[in-house]
Structure 1
Amino acid sequence: MTRLARTAARLADGSSRAARRLGARATTWVARGRRHDLTGWRALLGCGLRLGVLLLGVYLLWRLVRAVPNLMWLVSAAWTAAAWRAGKPPADVSEEALAEASSAPTGEAIRGLLLTLMGEGSGVHLRTVLDYLQEHGQWEGRTVTDLRAHLTRLQIPVDRGVKVAGVPTWGVRRRDLQAPSPVAAREASTAPSTAA
């Protein structure tokens, strides 16, 4: 892959990630307007108000860009910078860890790979794991659903509400990985005792 193609791929991937994050944050912000002390349509008034504020903001931005077309250069530059940051590849994972995770029948190697991809974070999205594997020639043509099923078979806990950078989706949490795996616990319990 050429340098220009890598740059374009990073911008395209980052742009879609930034759009998903922006949409998820807007949705979360609107949903927080729901009143839990009320019922019926009154409980949703806050959501409607917040949605109205968002729509008004989009309309005003559109009117501003129509009035001052050169402002579009600033909007485009800001979006490109956000896409570039969002498209940053995950932390470098050693080729040994990747090879071990893809070939090992146990879930322990995969756990190591997931922890490495998390870095200092509290979790990792399955989309990030799948993107990383596919960048390194693994799991071509597979989906997040396939990865989720594979991790479930390996008894690695997967959750729908894992938040990374404020966006909740399918992922794995660090605290779930640091607990001993059911497979390791079962192997330890069936191992012969060395005590005499």
Structure 2
Amino acid sequence: MSRLARPTARLADGSGLLARRLAARAAAWCARGRRDDLTGWKAILGVLLRCALLALGVYVLARLVRALPTLMWLLTSWWTIAAWGAGRAPAEETDVPPEGPAPAPDREAVLALLLEVMGDTPAVHLRTVLAHLQERGQWEGRKVGDLRAALERLAIPHERGVKVAGVPTWGVRRRDLEDPSPVPSEETPSAASTAA
């Protein structure tokens, strides 16, 4: 019995972890549907649409399983393999720091990240940057307002009317990142004194 206890615990822990991950990803995906450039009920239409799409997906999957019972074996096998893999390293999961204030990021690293997410386009919306971070397991549970506050602390220019694909909202422009406003330097007073 003790020989089965460890694999059973691993499957149970992995299954619970996998369920929490899927629920968190689904919730984050639905939350990203909120429009920051709108107010009132119009702002949450995207969230409601994404929730409806998830519900439709679950319904279609249930109908497929009823029509093709063999599909249940495939789904069960996939879940077991994924749960086994997720339960393999519980120590790695406990090393995740508790939620709280994030450490202050380096300004140069944030600028590099913004340019990376921007790609070849002249601008990027902050919600796209936030989605990029959350897909990599960072900034979970945070909103665009938190990202704006972080950019404000780092003195990185961002504004509300940035258009990407014809939609204006909070974003960052490439020209503001590559041509920062001039910072007073030590050479300016000496140049003024030599001119006098």
Give the TM-score, by structure 1 length.
Answer: 0.49
TM-score (norm 2): 0.49
User: Higher Cα Rg: structure 1 or 2?
Assistant: 2
Which has the bigger relative contact order, CA under 8 A and spacing at least 6? 2
